[in-house]
Amino acid sequence: MNKPVETRAATLNGAQAVVEMLRQHGVEVVLGLCGDTSLPLYDALRGSPLRHILTRDERHAAYMADGYARVTGKVGVCEGPSGGGATYILPGLAEANESSIPVLAINTDISVSSRGRFTLTELDQRTLMQPVTKWNAVLDRAADIPRVFRQAFEEMTTGRPGAAHIALPFDVQNQPLDAGDVWADPTLGAYPSRRVEPDPEMVALAAKLLRSAVNPLFICGGGVVISRAEAELCELAQKLSAPIATTISGKGSTDERCAHSLGVVGSNGGTPETRAVVDAADVIVFVGCRAGSVTTERWRHPAPDQARIIHIDVDPSVPGRNYKVDVPLIGDARLALTALNDALGDFAPRGDLTAMDVRKRLKFQNFMALAQSNDAPIKPERVVHEISQRVDADAILVADPGTPCPYFSAYYTVRGTGRRYFSNRAHGALGYALSAAIGAHIGRPSVKTVAVMGDGSFGMCVGELETMTRLKLPLTAIVISNAVYGWIKAGQKSGYGQRYFSVDFGATDHAAVAAAYGIRSWRVTQPADLPGILKQAFSAGEPTLVDIVCQPLHEAKAPVSEWVA
């Protein structure tokens, strides 16, 4: 009599096992959109302690998971159905993976037993997701669920973090499996989950090189924030009296009010003043930074043989890819910087911050001259300045490509360390910021979160205004409204003799659109109105949107080196 009852108690179906594997890895939130092939999964989620957030597009579910992961240090999880649900979720995985952010996407799929029969929504998810993830799998039977999920979490949070994808067929969700097999290591739910130290011999060589430096410089990528290595970086920069430059993703590596902080360098958000500091360095330490095209202005700043290079990265394939490296330090950024601090001991620096300080002041003087302008359409500099004045230091600001990214990267001063500002710098797809901000707010609800987008981006994320309203999220969306794909028009201006083609679109009253979604909103055309309206929007405690009619990007003085030249 008792035996069948015991068996039932020790058995889960595949969908329940998936939910349990997520829970045991510390997952609390799953973002996604329903579909026919997901019915068993939804039934399992319904009775589970996981919070499910319904989104209006799988692309945005993935961006939300990405924003959540960036601010929590935990894996972000999204889900969608087969076919279109998989093709729509893909862009968010591509961004997260290249940005070293652990996002797990689960797409349900047609049954294993229906494969190859012209079944509606059949798609080769394995091949589709392989190039845009660090690791992916297609399940064929429920018994593999525990092992596959354990491997996904391990892959996402060890080494260079990245995205993972699992295809979960309909019939697999309904198959039974032994509950005793469903176990997880919860430490794999946060990143970096396994820190590795660099080779001590290489640390000694790097310390020797740093002792000889006259103008050392740190260029920090997102790896410093991911590793939470800000304190160790600050200690080493002080020891060497060295400036700290960052990439856009590296913002938050240091408090940008600190004497060592140079700000963002590179072609997007860098200025002639920040470039001059890069050009003057004789020893450069790249930390958690891939020295890619934007950071280095296509490998021209620093010039190829200008400086001796120490390159700290957890991914052994990164150092030496773009610059001849004198000392590669392969390992976790925090442990590598700790080792360098120890190796340098009490070191009397030769470096001097005076030259950097002069250049930094000049950069902000140039900015402030425009930031005080009362011109209409409103200058982007004025927008950055007014927002900066009105958000708390602990606020999270998410910037889309177009006007927001270069302007906020260059001139928005991050007060404090850690992830307080980010943009989707791997692919720069329009329409990321609103959803990433929603995810960030879900992950860190105690602080103000602001999404800044162009009107091109608005068109690619507008549906998620409903998510923002439904969840009553006290976010503020800012739209830089200029009725043009301004970034591209600026490229046509600087590189194609102002032969403008197919870049202008009609003006939209974004405040009216937001109001139709039930969002409190304002349209601002005069600079003098900005302070009062921003204050109301930021303190409203409900979803708000401010549509700011701005100077088009191709007419502005954007901190984008190709256009400045």
Ligand X SMILES: Cc1ncc(C[n+]2csc(CCOP(=O)(O)OP(=O)(O)O)c2C)c(N)n1
CA angle 454, 465, 133 (to 5 degrees): 75
d(CA 251, CA 255): 9
d(CA 76, CA 70): 8
- List C-alpha distances in Å: 113 to 271, 278, 347: 58, 59, 68
Asked if 301 and 268 count as a contact pair (C-beta separation under 8 A), the reply is no
Binders in 257-296 for ligand X, by CB under 6 A:
none
Query: What is the residue whose two structure tokens read 């190709």?
Result: 562
Cβ proximity to ligand X: between 172 and 530 the closer is: 530
Asked if 439 and 65 count as a contact pair (C-beta separation under 8 A), the reply is yes
Q: Does 482 bind ligand X (CB under 6 A)?
A: yes
The region of 128-136, 300-308, 449-457, 471-479 touching ligand X under the rule CB under 6 A is 449-457
Residues 419-438 as b/e (b if ≥16 CB within 10 A, e otherwise) read bbbbbbbbebbbbbbbbbbb
- For the bound state, the minimum distance from the C-beta of residue 408 to ligand X, rounded and expressed in Å, comes to 12
d(CA 204, CA 487): 45
Among 418, 428, 463, 518, indicate the residue that binds ligand X (CB under 6 A). Answer: 428
388 Cβ contact list (under 8 Å, min separation 6): 411, 412, 413
Binders in 509-548 for ligand X, by CB under 6 A:
none
Q: Does 72 bind ligand X (CB under 6 A)?
A: no
- For the bound state, the minimum distance from the C-beta of residue 65 to ligand X, rounded and expressed in Å, comes to 18
Other beta carbons within 10 Å of 49: 9
Nearest to 560 by CA among 464, 461, 460, 487: 487
- For the bound state, the minimum distance from the C-beta of residue 518 to ligand X, rounded and expressed in Å, comes to 24
The region of 164-172, 175-183, 415-423, 483-491 touching ligand X under the rule CB under 6 A is 483-491
194 Cβ contact list (under 8 Å, min separation 6): 157, 158, 159
Among 553, 559, 561, 563, indicate the residue that binds ligand X (CB under 6 A). Answer: 553
Cβ proximity to ligand X: between 349 and 428 the closer is: 428
Among 162, 243, 454, 527, indicate the residue that binds ligand X (CB under 6 A). Answer: 454
Among 402, 406, 439, 559, indicate the residue that binds ligand X (CB under 6 A). Answer: 402
Q: Does 558 bind ligand X (CB under 6 A)?
A: no
d(CA 391, CA 535): 9
d(CA 230, CA 28): 27
Other beta carbons within 10 Å of 94: 19
Q: What is the H or E stretch that residue 481 is in?
A: strand 476-481
Q: Does 435 bind ligand X (CB under 6 A)?
A: no
The region of 299-307, 320-328, 484-492, 518-526 touching ligand X under the rule CB under 6 A is 484-492
The region of 22-30, 350-358, 367-375, 486-494 touching ligand X under the rule CB under 6 A is 486-494
Among 484, 519, 537, 545, indicate the residue that binds ligand X (CB under 6 A). Answer: 484
Query: What is the residue whose two structure tokens read 């410089």?
Result: 217
Among 66, 155, 171, 455, indicate the residue that binds ligand X (CB under 6 A). Answer: 455
- For the bound state, the minimum distance from the C-beta of residue 432 to ligand X, rounded and expressed in Å, comes to 9
Among 136, 457, 544, 551, indicate the residue that binds ligand X (CB under 6 A). Answer: 457
Among 209, 276, 429, 447, indicate the residue that binds ligand X (CB under 6 A). Answer: 429
Q: Does 488 bind ligand X (CB under 6 A)?
A: yes
- For the bound state, the minimum distance from the C-beta of residue 268 to ligand X, rounded and expressed in Å, comes to 10
- For the bound state, the minimum distance from the C-beta of residue 487 to ligand X, rounded and expressed in Å, comes to 3
- For the bound state, the minimum distance from the C-beta of residue 287 to ligand X, rounded and expressed in Å, comes to 27
Query: What is the residue whose two structure tokens read 């652990």?
Result: 102
Which residues are at the interface with ligand X (CB under 6 A)? Answer: 401-403, 428-430, 454-457, 480, 482, 484-488, 553
